[in-house]
Amino acid sequence: MKQTVLSGIRSTGNLHLGNYFGAIRNFVRMQHEYNCYFFVADLHSLTTHPHPDNLHGNVRKVISEYLACGIDPDVATLYVQSDVPEISELYLLMNMNAYVGELERTTTFKDKIRKQPENVNAGLLTYPVLMATDIIIHKANKVPVGKDQEQNLEMARKFARRFNRIYEVDYFPEPEAFSFTGELIKIPGLDGSGKMGKSEGNAINLVDDPKIIRKKVMRAVTDAGPTELNQAPTEPIQNLFSLMEVVSETDTLNFFKEKYAACEIRYGDLKNQLAEDIIKFTTPIRDRILTIHDDDAYLKKVTKQGAEKARESASRTLREVREIIGFRSF
């Protein structure tokens, strides 16, 4: 039997090149090897009190971008979290066995208190319970998570174990972190150091138009230029080479590396070439995003189909959990 892999997608912000080479490209491959569930975590996003129009707009954007990258809704189960009411019910049940003390100690909660002290709502406190519910409702075995979500996954394991212990059952599997060993490519930002990220403000989004991409690349940090033959590139320059590595032809990359080694490089030329190669890479994805984004009929069909598949699995779990807990019908 295929293992079940699940990933929740934050519904804020556009997908950027870092997301693409970091995770999404792997999701696209994985969907054929595993039983995959991908969903837009729109219930989680309520913790930040979005405006109703933005909430819907963000879900539309994220779904369009994932589809444009190659998530196949006929292969993977792609759904919107709030379309699956079973999640909310199981979340309520799971909350009864989650302790305020342990929730208050999670790093993500403590971060939020610092970042939004004016809105420390109960949903923030129980965020890990909802995330655990997302996972266990499909009895997922593997969850691809970044560093920042490891603690939340650890809590999901704890809640799954606790349920089994309290009710003396062997019902929920303990979800493990899925690691793409060796397949993760770190995409640097354009600001000289560190990685590409939304919060870093240095990202090239898949949906960016050519003008914006050129502008962002031309503004990338460089250095004063090599002073010795065969000098190792400084970090900002190595970052530009790393980007070229994923979007450009090998010959192009080698051409600029040789120019650098010979102290003949012109950063303007390097950036021009990099911008054009990024544009060449993102344009087909961008075109698909824009088409899908405005195709209401297609989005309706995809989300309906996703919700049906997700609810089939979720309602089975919920029925069994209700039975285990002791809710029985007369």
**Is the Cα dihedral 153, 155, 160, 165 positive or negative?**
positive
Question: Least Å distance between CB 281 and ligand TRP?
Answer: 25
Nearest residue to ligand TRP by CB is 8
Question: Least Å distance between CB 153 and ligand TRP?
Answer: 7
- CA-CA-CA-CA dihedral for 206, 207, 209, 212, to nearest 10: -70
Query: Does the annotation count 195 as an active-site position?
Result: yes
Question: Least Å distance between CB 7 and ligand TRP?
Answer: 5
Binding to ligand TRP in span 112-131, by CB under 6 A? 131
64: left (phi over 0), alpha (psi -120 to 50) or beta: alpha
Please answer whether residues 65 and 208 qualify as being in contact, where contact means their C-beta atoms are separated by less than 8 angstroms. no
Please answer whether residues 152 and 106 qualify as being in contact, where contact means their C-beta atoms are separated by less than 8 angstroms. yes
Which residue out of 61, 115, 142, 195 is catalytically annotated? 195
| Complex with ligand TRP: residue 7 or 202, whichever CB lies closer | 7
Encoded one letter per residue, x for contact with ligand TRP by CB under 6 A and - for no contact, window 134-163 reads xx-------x-x---x--x-----------
| Site size with ligand TRP, rule: CB under 6 A | 13
Structure tokens at 19: 């997301």
8 binds ligand TRP (CB under 6 A): yes
145 vs 8: CA distance, rounded Å: 9
| Complex with ligand TRP: residue 4 or 152, whichever CB lies closer | 152
269 vs 117: CA distance, rounded Å: 47
Which residue out of 139, 158, 198, 309 is catalytically annotated? 198
Question: Least Å distance between CB 81 and ligand TRP?
Answer: 8
Question: Least Å distance between CB 108 and ligand TRP?
Answer: 8
Residues 6 or more apart whose CB falls under 8 angstroms from that of 294 comprise: none
| Complex with ligand TRP: residue 148 or 223, whichever CB lies closer | 148
Binding segment toward ligand TRP, per CB under 6 A, in 4-12, 89-97, 295-303, 311-319: 4-12
Query: Does the annotation count 147 as an active-site position?
Result: no
Residue type, 51: H
6 binds ligand TRP (CB under 6 A): yes
247 binds ligand TRP (CB under 6 A): no
Q: How far is CA 223 from CA 96, 148, 227, in A?
A: 56, 32, 11
Phi, psi of 6 (to 5 degrees): -135, 140
Describe the crossing of helices 267-293 and 210-218 by its angle, rounded to 10 degrees. Answer: 150
Q: Which of helix, strand or coil describes residue 314?
A: helix
Query: Does the annotation count 198 as an active-site position?
Result: yes
Please answer whether residues 220 and 271 qualify as being in contact, where contact means their C-beta atoms are separated by less than 8 angstroms. yes
Question: Least Å distance between CB 134 and ligand TRP?
Answer: 4
- Give the angle subtended at the CA of 82 by the CAs of 94 and 204, to the nearest 5°: 110
216 binds ligand TRP (CB under 6 A): no
179 binds ligand TRP (CB under 6 A): no
Binding to ligand TRP in span 29-68, by CB under 6 A? 41, 44
| Complex with ligand TRP: residue 153 or 279, whichever CB lies closer | 153
Q: Would you name the residues annotated as active-site residues?
A: 112, 195, 198
Residue ranges that bind ligand TRP, judged by CB under 6 A: 6-8, 10, 41, 44, 131, 134-135, 143, 145, 149, 152
